[in-house]
């Protein structure tokens, strides 16, 4: 099968060029994954060895999709499959790539292959412990703020030594001194415990490659053709990693869209994609502008919005799909009225036969979900809020921590979490003595309990070497005391029991691997799980999705409702910002992303009055709606908008009245 014939001319151009740097500007829904996967298969058909090809993306979901497509195309080509057998390209997320490099070369930084990856909550707890030991009040010096500053600097490719120099020169004042001291202790404790955090998965590989030219050369020889997805979302440390991996031959292909740069708050730098041609002279740029996802009206509206931005690579999305429905705009009296209208509309769609999982409600800020959830319950609409992660539930973390503590006795974090879970009568003072290896100073009764605990870890460790992972978890569940502790039959405890049983069910997918390989895969995959991966795991649930616009990136739905379209909410108003123009552009990019999630029908809504931080405020309709050509919009005849402004019926003059609002003249 000739996969190249299935591509449009622009996609073919990106696929057929073999060597040198390529910048693929891919608009929303323009088939970038299809282009990249076809290019990878074409490289292999051209004689490039599969193991010499690397592709990096941001989420496990995207990496999995890319992997499945490549494997399917290879297996569908009998001749190609016969030549390469089971050899495949390395397709992963940035963090999984970091894990691979650390497992192979982490010894240069004193890290062995059994390191544990701390999640954000464990990192915060460790920072809090360090602050307390240094005499700080966590209520005055917030652990989350300190951790965020450490993470921000790591993401900006700033080392502890460089930050120390900045602090000595007066940077960040007193807080900077605190951050510097905590950072130093934090890193030291992670290394001692054979642990790393998420930032280390990127900073340490960069450090290894910079300090060890022979390792860099080895990786450059291994991966001779580099592909980077969503390049516009890279932060400075990811950008540095990409440049190091590209090496001297510079066979690097980056795919992205400056119009979808929405993560500057976590370090994404739009200049990376805008200046790619300067970083790699001789770059060939390819524009993917044909959208295969949305109707023509949705695409035209998205173009109306984004063309107002300056910091972008110009392109114009188009589609060969039909015009489709107009964009419906609804104005509610308040957020309750708005949410009841939206969920009522969704209820009607479901009654007409639309699958709930094909409907999404997007909002700018998390607080907006509460009233939507209440309306879902009122209308009996099945829903799922994206953001509640299964692997971050306490009972699940407790189970996994037993596993981590068993295979890594240096992980004080996991020992602290499990040694008194469930309660064994080992207090805080006893725990300090255990951590300091002063078990002999404990009472005789406590020593017996501690020995029983470590004997349990010994058994678990032995089982990880000989038994299926699901059987190991069954043993932990029954013999740690966790099962017994939740048998009180309260509703909350029953839910926790069901969650643990779900964990055991999930681990059966690793039962086909050798025990030690299964353990390694499980710990890596669960540590790197993202919100979208969590949604992917539950895709079989036929429920309406509620999520922030940020969380919707990369997803698509037949029917999309974007709520809260008001000035100061969307676009979101930030206080004390110095780069107002760029912030406004990012908000517009965020709206562009939201619009282009919709395939068939798009709904926008706002409220005239909204309760913010307990105060009822009069709101103004978002200017983003005004950016859309009026001919594409249908103002619902029953909306509060029309009670205030009169029916629009396509009349542009009436549309200009949207800024006028005198509540005293409204008879509610």
Annotated catalytic sites, by residue?
32-33, 229-230, 260, 597
194 to 111, 408, 521: CA distances (angstroms): 6, 8, 18
- Tell how far CA 218 is from the center of its chain: 30
Dist. CA 453–CA 449, nearest whole Å: 6
> Given the structure tokens 């103002």, which residue do they identify?
635
Measure the CA–CA gap between 423 and 475, rounded to whole angstroms.
Answer: 18
In the block, residue with structure tokens 């919709």 = 598
H-run or E-run covering 654? helix 652-655
How many CA atoms are closer than 13 Å to the CA of 168, on its beta-carbon side?
Answer: 6
Q: Are 295 and 322 in contact (CB under 8 A)?
A: yes
CA-only gyration radius of the chain, Å? 27
Q: In this structure, are residues 59 and 322 in contact, taking their beta carbons and an 8 Å threshold?
A: no
Structure tokens at 524: 């890596």
CA angle, 296 as apex, 294 and 302 as ends, to 5°? 75
CA pair distance 121, 198, nearest whole angstrom: 12
Structural contact between residues 544 and 361, judged by C-beta atoms closer than 8 angstroms:
yes
Helix residue ranges, H only, 480-530 = 482-485, 491-507, 515-527
At 132, list the tokens.
């307390």
Alpha helices, DSSP H only, in 509-651?
515-527, 531-537, 580-595, 623-626, 640-645
Question: CA 105, CA 377: separation in Å to the nearest integer?
Answer: 52
Please count the residues of the chain. 668
| Six-digit token string for 493 | 């405890």
Q: Provide the sign of the torsion angle of the four alpha carbons 631, 632, 635, 637, taken in this order.
A: positive
Are the C-beta atoms of residues 22 and 58 closer than 8 Å to each other?
no
The H or E element containing residue 99 is helix 94-105
Positions of E strands within 380-509: 383-385
How far does CA 392 lie from the centroid of its chain?
14
* Integer CA distances (angstroms), 146 to 166, 168, 175, 178, in order: 16, 17, 8, 8
Instruction: Find out whether 93 and 57 touch, Cβ atoms under 8 Å.
Output: yes
Integer CA distances (angstroms), 7 to 10, 18, 283, in order: 8, 17, 22
């Amino acid at each position: 099968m000739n996969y190249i014939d299935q591509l449009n001319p622009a996609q073919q151009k990106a696929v057929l060029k073999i060597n040198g740097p390529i910048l693929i500007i891919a608009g929303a829904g323009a088939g970038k994954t299809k282009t990249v996967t076809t290019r990878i298969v074409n490289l292999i058909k051209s004689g490039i060895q599969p193991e010499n090809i690397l592709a990096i993306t941001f989420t496990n979901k995207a990496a999995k999709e890319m992997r499945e497509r490549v494997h399917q195309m290879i297996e569908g080509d009998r001749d190609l499959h016969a030549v390469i057998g089971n050899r495949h390209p390395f397709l992963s997320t940035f963090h999984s790539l970091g894990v691979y490099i650390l497992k192979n070369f982490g010894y240069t930084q004193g890290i062995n292959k059994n390191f544990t990856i701390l999640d954000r909550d464990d990192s915060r707890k460790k920072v809090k412990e360090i602050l307390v030991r240094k005499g700080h009040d966590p209520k005055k010096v917030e652990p989350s703020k300190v951790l965020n500053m450490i993470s921000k600097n790591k993401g900006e490719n700033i080392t502890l030594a460089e930050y120390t120099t900045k602090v000595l020169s007066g940077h960040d004042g007193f807080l900077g001194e605190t951050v510097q001291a905590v950072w130093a202790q934090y890193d030291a404790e992670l290394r001692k415990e054979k642990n790393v955090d998420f930032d280390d998965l990127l900073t340490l590989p960069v450090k290894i490659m910079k300090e060890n030219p022979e390792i860099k050369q080895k990786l450059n020889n291994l991966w001779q053709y580099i592909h980077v997805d969503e390049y516009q979302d890279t932060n400075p440390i990811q950008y540095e990693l990409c440049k190091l991996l590209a090496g001297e031959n510079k066979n690097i292909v980056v795919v992205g869209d400056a119009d979808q740069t929405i993560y500057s708050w976590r370090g994404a730098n739009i200049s990376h994609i805008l200046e790619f041609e300067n970083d790699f002279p001789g770059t060939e740029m390819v524009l993917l502008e044909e959208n295969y996802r949305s109707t023509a009206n949705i695409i035209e509206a998205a173009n109306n919005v984004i063309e107002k931005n300056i910091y972008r690579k110009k392109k114009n999305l188009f589609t060969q799909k039909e015009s489709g429905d107009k964009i419906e705009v609804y104005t509610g009296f308040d957020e309750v009225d708005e949410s009841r209208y939206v969920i009522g509309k969704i209820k009607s769609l479901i009654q007409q036969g639309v699958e709930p999982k094909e409907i999404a409600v997007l909002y700018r800020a998390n607080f907006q979900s509460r009233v939507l959830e209440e309306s879902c319950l009122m209308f009996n609409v099945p829903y799922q809020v994206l953001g509640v992660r299964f692997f971050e539930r306490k009972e699940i973390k407790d189970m996994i921590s037993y596993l981590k503590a068993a295979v890594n006795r240096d992980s004080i974090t996991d020992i602290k979490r499990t040694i008194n879970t469930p309660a064994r009568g080992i207090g805080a003072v006893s725990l300090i003595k255990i951590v300091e290896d002063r078990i002999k100073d404990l009472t005789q009764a406590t020593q017996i309990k501690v020995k029983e605990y470590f004997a349990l870890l010994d058994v678990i460790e032995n089982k990880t070497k000989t038994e299926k992972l699901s059987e190991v978890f069954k043993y932990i569940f029954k013999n740690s005391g966790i099962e017994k502790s939740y048998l009180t039959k309260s509703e909350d405890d029953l839910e926790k029991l069901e969650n643990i049983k779900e964990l055991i069910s999930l681990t059966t997918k690793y039962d086909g691997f050798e025990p030690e390989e299964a353990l390694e895969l499980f710990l890596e995959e669960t540590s790197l799980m993202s919100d979208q991966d969590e949604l992917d795991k539950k895709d079989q649930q036929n429920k309406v999705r509620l999520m922030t616009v940020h969380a919707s990136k990369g997803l698509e739905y037949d029917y999309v409702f974007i709520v809260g379209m008001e000035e100061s909410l969307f676009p979101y108003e930030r206080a004390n910002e110095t780069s107002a123009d760029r912030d406004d552009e990012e908000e517009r990019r965020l709206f562009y992303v939201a619009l282009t999630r919709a395939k068939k029908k798009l709904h926008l809504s706002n409220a005239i009055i909204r309760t913010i931080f307990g105060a009822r405020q009069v709101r103004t309709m978002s200017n983003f709606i005004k950016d859309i050509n009026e001919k594409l919009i249908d103002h619902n005849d029953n909306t509060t908008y029309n009670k205030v402004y009169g029916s629009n019926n396509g009349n542009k003059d009436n549309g200009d009245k949207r800024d006028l609002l005198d509540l005293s003249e409204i008879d509610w």
